[in-house]
Chains A and B, each alone.
Chain A
């Protein structure tokens, strides 16, 4: 279990995240949603260990992640960055290897398999800097999957995805979310920041709504994606439909709240 307990993050005097608590469970996909500037990315970064905490703590199976060495943590949690530049002319396969500090998982067959899994077959020897934004993002996804693979084959670990669908077309949004789903089904935990509430409703087991740095609601999709919660968090009035797989939101019936 990967938990944020009462986490506050401040930057130049402003509280970006304010007393947020959040649990990511193995086997579950937890999705963070909220308006721009709600502190979603900041909370994800605080949970990944990248941001310092002003108060609160982040624990992995009860142990504070700040007491763990980066390598120890990296074996059990991998983070998909938003729009990552690579400094030197690495190929896609080399980018994947560059992120592997554990010393395993270097074999080419595995790398090719992972590239195929993110729908980039034949991209191993392509220069990373020649790829499109969406292709780069999928190389990075393959890289973090390789990192967790190499870290601990017996327990799948935690995937942190910061807007994993941002620069992807519809088909590849689904590719990425299916990978997240499969990771959870295999016993891993997933924490994803998503903008699109419908994608969130589709993939999430649990949704956490963040606004103004605070958690406004958290729980199963159907309990959280309700008109009052969204009106409160996003400042809009909308109607939520329900069709067999779950709730959906049509942009046509959204209007600004008073």
Chain B
């Protein structure tokens, strides 16, 4: 659905007073700005004008302007990094919005409730144990093995959490959060054991999987993440109406004509796909899935028809912004991305908890 289409659909839906179009425009501007910033900012700073010139020449295939160094930095280093960041940010944020919609609670977040750590554990297990098996597979399958493993890990964890948190058709928020925390800790511990048993450069790998980084981004990673994240987005847009009805309650959504079980199953698979792709590309970057949908709701309101595209745009902006910070704070060293998102996200989560203390009970 185009942005105008969404804006029109929501305007006619009686959302007077919600600046939906303005909000989506704002988030789009932020995403573009963060993307350009990600290409321009770094140890070797390139003026945005030069960035555009290099990109334009690359797209049009014209004789390269810019210096070789500029071209290498922009096209081979920063562009894949920015693409991976944008995809992972969108994926985590939209997955967060979907999870919150399905659990009917704004505290559900893929990294907090163990989905992302579960995906990371599966990804590490694939790297450590999968290698001998992978050699037997045809070449194209070898490459997608990692994101597929992360997807499977995310799917299993989501299903386990949904199972644990649900009782008599109601989702207990306290169980959801605590079981999710325990599962996340368990998965991270498993990741740690595997990394330390298997790898030469253990600590670095462990930091990548548990705190995330865009440091290892390549064109290949971007190409692998893209179909999963785009699939998640397409599904999320399709589920938006149903998720709005689900906010009324599960029985109410059924009475309004939603196939609730099918909606939940589809959402779980989509969440696992988005989170799996993001984690395979960047490791576990916490709090994006929690903070982004919430910020988006503050601006454009809770309707998922606008929330899904808004989360995608703002998620990309936030993750790229966090990566710029991660590269700048301790330059020339890089902070793990998850450290930056946690610095912002954890206090935000506490604030959200205190605000809804009664609700969490």
What residues make up the interface of A, taking CB atoms closer than 8 Å to B?
Answer: 45, 48-50, 69-75, 77-79, 81, 84-91, 93-102, 106-108, 111, 124-125, 143-144, 147
Give the number of residues in B that approach A within 8 Å (Cβ atoms).
Answer: 32
Check A90 against B256 for contact (C-beta < 8 Å). no
Query: Are B242 and A101 in contact, CB atoms less than 8 angstroms apart?
Result: yes
- B328-353 vs A, CB cutoff 8 Å, 1 = contact: the mask equals 00000000000000000000000000
Whether A124 lies near B257 (C-beta < 8 A) is no
In the assembled complex, 23 residue pairs joining A and B whose CB atoms fall closer than 8 Å, in A order, are A70-B254, A71-B259, A81-B248, A81-B249, A86-B248, A87-B247, A88-B247, A88-B302, A90-B247, A91-B14, A95-B248, A97-B13, A98-B245, A98-B247, A99-B248, A99-B252, A101-B256, A102-B257, A107-B12, A124-B14, A125-B16, A143-B248, A147-B257
Interface string of B236-257 (1 = CB under 8 A from A): 0000011011111101101111
Given contacts A84-B249, A99-B245, A108-B12, 16 further A-B pairs with CB under 8 A are A48-B255, A49-B254, A70-B254, A86-B249, A87-B101, A87-B105, A88-B297, A93-B13, A93-B14, A94-B13, A94-B15, A97-B15, A97-B244, A98-B248, A106-B12, A111-B14
Q: Could you tell me the distance in whole angstroms from the C-beta of A154 to the nearest C-beta in chain B?
A: 18
CB–CB A94/B14 < 8 A: yes
Residues of A within 8 A of B301 (CB): 89-91, 94
Chain B contact surface mostly: loop
Cross-chain pair count, CB within 8 angstroms: 114
**Which residue of the partner chain A has the closest CB to B105?**
A87
Once the chains bind, are A70 and B248 in contact (CB under 8 Å)? no
In whole angstroms, how far apart are the Cα atoms of A43 and B34 in the complex? 56
Least CB separation from B168: chain A residue: A11
Question: Are A108 and B14 interface neighbours, CB within 8 A?
Answer: yes
Residues in chain B near residue A45, CB distance under 8 A: 251
- Min CB distance A113 to B, Å, is 12
The reply to whether the CB of B106 lies closer than 8 angstroms to some CB of chain A is yes
Interface contact A147-B106, CB-CB below 8 Å:
no
Residue of A nearest to B307 (CB): A88
B17, B248, B255, B257: the one within 8 Å of A125 (CB): B17
Check B12 against A100 for contact (C-beta < 8 Å): no
- The answer to whether A101 touches B258, judged by C-beta atoms less than 8 angstroms apart, is yes
Interface residues of B (CB under 8 A from A): 9, 12-17, 101, 104-106, 241-242, 244-249, 251-252, 254-260, 297, 301-303
* Chain B proximity of A106: nearest CB distance (Å): 5
| Known contacts A87-B247, A98-B303, A99-B252; is-contact A93 B257 (Cβ 8 Å) | no
Tell me which of B15, B16, B256 contacts A100 (CB under 8 A).
B256
The smallest beta-carbon distance between A121 and chain B, in angstroms, is 14
What chain A residues lie within 8 Å of B105 (beta carbons)? 87
Q: Are A70 and B259 in contact (CB under 8 A)?
A: yes
CA distance A25 to B184 in the complex (A): 54
> Which 4 interchain pairs have the tightest Cβ spacing?
A74-B257, A88-B302, A93-B14, A71-B257
Flag if B302 contacts A101 (CB, 8 Å). no
Q: Which residues from chain A contact B256 at a C-beta distance below 8 Å?
A: 74, 78, 99-101, 147
| B residues near A95, Cβ cutoff 8 Å | 248
Residues of B within 8 A of A124 (CB): 14, 16
Determine the distance from Cα of A89 to Cα of B298 in the docked complex, in whole angstroms.
9
Query: Max chain A CB contacts within 10 Å: which of B248, B249, B301?
Result: B248
Given A98-B245, A124-B16, check contact A50 B255 (CB 8 Å).
Answer: yes
User: A70 contacts B244, CB within 8 Å?
Assistant: no
Distance to closest chain A CB from B171 (angstroms): 10
Q: Check A97–B248 contact: CB distance below 8 A.
A: no
Smallest beta-carbon distance A149→chain B, Å = 13
The residue that A106 contacts in the complex, of B13, B242, B248, B252, with Cβ under 8 A, is: B13
Min distance, Cβ B153 to any Cβ of chain A, angstroms: 28
The answer for the CA separation of A93 and B9 in the assembled complex, in Å, is 14
The docked-state distance in angstroms from the alpha carbon of A84 to that of B259 is: 19
* Cβ–Cβ contact B255 & A78, under 8 A: yes
Chain A residues with CB below 8 A from B16, complex form: 93, 108, 124-125
A56 to B303, CA, bound (A): 39
How many angstroms between the C-alpha atoms of A35 and B93 in the bound complex? 49
* Bound-complex Cα distance A8 to B14 (A): 42
Closest beta carbon of chain A to B174's beta carbon, Å: 16
Q: Which of A45, A79, A88, A143 has the most CB of B within 10 A?
A: A88
Check A87/B14 contact, CB under 8 A, given A49-B254, A74-B256, A98-B245: no
- CB atoms of B302 and A89 under 8 A apart: yes
In the complex, which of the residues A94, A107, A143 has the most CB atoms of chain B within 10 Å of its own CB atom? A94
Q: For the complex, what is the distance from the CA of A96 to the CA of B252, rounded to whole Å? A: 12
Give bound CA distance, A211 to B115, whole Å: 48
Chain B residues near A48 (CB, 8 Å)? 255
Selected from B249, B257, B297, the residue in CB contact (under 8 A) with A101 is B257
